[in-house]
Amino acid sequence: METRITRRRPLLRTVALAGVAAAAVALSGCSGGASSGPTTITFSYLWGGEEAKALEKVIADFNKSQSAIKVVGVSSPDAQKQLTSMSSSNGSFDISDNFGNTVGSWASKGILAPLDDYLKTEKVDLDGFAPAALDQMKYEGKTYALPIAVHTQQLMYNKDLLDKAGVQPPTTMDELADAVKKLTVTDADGAITQIGLGNPSASTLFTTLGYAFGGTWDGKNGKTPTPDDPKNVEALDWYAKTLTDTYGADKIATFTSGLGQYMSAQDPFYTGKEAMVIDGEWQAVNIPKVAPNLNWGVVDIPAASPELAGTTQVTTSTLFIPSNSKHKAEAAKFLAYIVGDKPMTDFTLALGNLPSKTSLLTASAYGDIPHFDSWLKALTSKNAKSLASQPYSAQYSTDLATAFDDVVRGVASPEKALSSVADKARSY
């Protein structure tokens, strides 16, 4: 007993010494970071694989171009981790990326640093960006993010299938309905073997159709959910009448469940199981790689009435600076660089995305991608719309997805499904 107590003292001393040593090591680590030389900023991004490689090249170019700032890129595809890192006073990154629909929610909670002053210092011209894309970057008059890449939706069609059925690419909703009818093939039991209009993502298809019928999802002011806008109901009714009611929701579900994976060689549009589909520009880059023999074309989304011609939905990939960054000015310098003409062209080309600046839309670099010009052109359309980016957006899109799912499965009429979202939206 006695010996154990006496022996404890040297042990304590050892522990204390070890603690001091550890603290010393930690301190020296800190002072190393604060020494003179370039300021190091961390760019944490959700991209991975090929896209991360393209981004790393842009980062390397920036680091070479100047000596004051060193950007370290980290691929971190965990969106939840990204969010929690921004909730502490000491963040783990100075610049990061997400999608346009999170800007409003994050800005309203003080997660994002307002960029306007930095953009003035760095002389970034906001007028150069596509208006529909820029709408999502703002909250209560301030800019909280910049679009690095954008996406539009267009109607793609399988030329061989249209020729076989004697159908011209549709330009109006009535023509589209007629084309769907001629291009949907059923066997003797009524089972669908080929569908006129594919539906890879009900959320994208239905919100886009809403716009194409002249509807709006966030009111005239872009601040309040208007799911049951009569034009939205009309759009979903058009879908229900053209597909669900005609062929049976269960028949469509059975057909859909047997389809191959999206964007793979078995993608139903690539294999001719879907004759037409409304989809984004990334398909133009993917098809030559995965389905080089597909004979396809692309046209504007058919208009419900002439003034709605050229309707498309714009979605954005954003870059932002978190409020807890210790190096906002340096991060803004890099942000200004990456939305510059050359880095943006390099990066969007590597990803097969559209540039967000209208001046780049005619850049020759995009000319090599088949049919890419159709999506590029859509970006400048006066009917290019985007969903609002408001604090309620995450919950709204979840509730809309549930309502769209009900319509696809034929368990609720478009009017009922959308008015149930309106009920929920009252308590957002």
Work out whether 12 is an interface residue with another protein (CB under 8 A). Answer: no
- Pairing label, strands 39-45, 95-99: parallel
CB of 188 to another protein, least distance (A): 21
CB of 402 to another protein, least distance (A): 6
Residue 413: Cβ-neighbour burial (10 angstroms; 0-12, 13-18, 19+): middle
Residue 422 per-residue DSSP state: H
Nearest to 236 by CA among 403, 399, 392, 422: 403
Stretch that binds another protein, among 15-23, 113-121, 124-132, 251-259 (CB under 8 A): 251-259
Cite the DSSP H helix spans in 294-388: 328-338, 341-351, 372-378
Nearer to another protein (CB atom), residue 109 or residue 159:
109
Dihedral class, residue 166 (left if φ above 0, else alpha if ψ from -120 to 50, else beta)? left
Q: How far is Cα 24 from Cα 337, in angstroms, rounded to an integer?
A: 38
Q: Which of residues 111-150 bind another protein (CB under 8 A)?
A: 111
Nearest to 281 by CA among 210, 373, 195: 373
Phi and psi (nearest 5°) for 427?
A: -110, 20
Nearer to another protein (CB atom), residue 83 or residue 185:
83
Stretch that binds another protein, among 31-39, 102-110, 179-187, 366-374 (CB under 8 A): 102-110
Nearer to another protein (CB atom), residue 260 or residue 340:
260
Query: How far from chain centre, in Å, is Cα 405?
Result: 20
Work out whether 257 is an interface residue with another protein (CB under 8 A). Answer: yes
Nearer to another protein (CB atom), residue 79 or residue 265:
79
Stretch that binds another protein, among 82-90, 179-187, 210-218, 304-312 (CB under 8 A): 82-90
Residue 258: Cβ-neighbour burial (10 angstroms; 0-12, 13-18, 19+): exposed
Position 404: which residue type? F
Q: Which of residues 369-398 bind another protein (CB under 8 A)?
A: 394-395, 397-398
Residue 260 per-residue DSSP state: P
Work out whether 172 is an interface residue with another protein (CB under 8 A). Answer: no
Work out whether 258 is an interface residue with another protein (CB under 8 A). Answer: yes
Q: Which of residues 394-423 bind another protein (CB under 8 A)?
A: 394-395, 397-399, 401-402, 405-406, 409, 411, 420, 423
# residues contacting another protein (CB under 8 A): 35
CB of 274 to another protein, least distance (A): 16
Give the number of C-alpha atoms closer than 13 A to the C-alpha of residue 16, restricted to the C-beta side.
6
Q: What angle do CA 157, 310, 103 make, to 5 degrees?
A: 100
Q: Which of 253, 285, 290, 299 binds another protein (CB under 8 A)?
A: 253
**Could you list the residues that contact another protein (CB under 8 A)?**
1, 5, 46, 79-80, 83, 86-87, 99, 105, 109-111, 253-254, 256-260, 394-395, 397-399, 401-402, 405-406, 409, 411, 420, 423-424, 427
